[in-house]
Amino acid sequence: MNLKEKLNSDFREAFKGKDEIKLPVLKMLQAEIRNSEIAKRTNLAKAGENDLEKKSRLNDDEVLKVISSEIKKRKKAIELYERGGRADIASKEKKEIEILSAYLPNL
């Protein structure tokens, strides 16, 4: 099972279990992955490639880059929320980082 399939499986589980924390995070992550695939497909089309659907699918390394990017966004948001005195929203962002970090390889 590749990483994208695992994310889809976990999304279905969160949806069935009505997990109010994990579900929106995984939904957002799936949307970002789709956006990256569309961008990749566009670049391939401009380069004159064929079989765009298959070639534009993200591999595990590319999915990990998307996840890392989302974690970076949240870290920046935490910094801004804490500076603004919004610890409640910062803690929500920290929980989202924990969920996303579960999909990163343990180094």
**CATH number of the domain that residue 69 is part of:** 1.10.1510.10
* Band (107; pLDDT cuts 50, 70, 90): low
Range of the domain at 11: 3-101
Nearest in space to 63 (alpha carbons), one of 106, 8, 107: 8
Q: Residue 39 falls within a domain, yes or no? A: yes
- What the block records as the tokens of 104 is 């990163």
Task: Provide the whole-model pTM.
Answer: 0.88
pLDDT reported for residue 51: 79
Half-sphere exposure of 85 (CA within 13 A, CB side): 0
Name the DSSP letter for residue 19.
Answer: -
Q: Residue 91 falls within a domain, yes or no? A: yes
Q: Residue 106 falls within a domain, yes or no? A: no
Domain count, the chain: 1
Which residues, 6+ apart, have CB-to-CB distance to 61 below 8 Å?
none
Q: Residue 47 falls within a domain, yes or no? A: yes
pLDDT reported for residue 93: 95
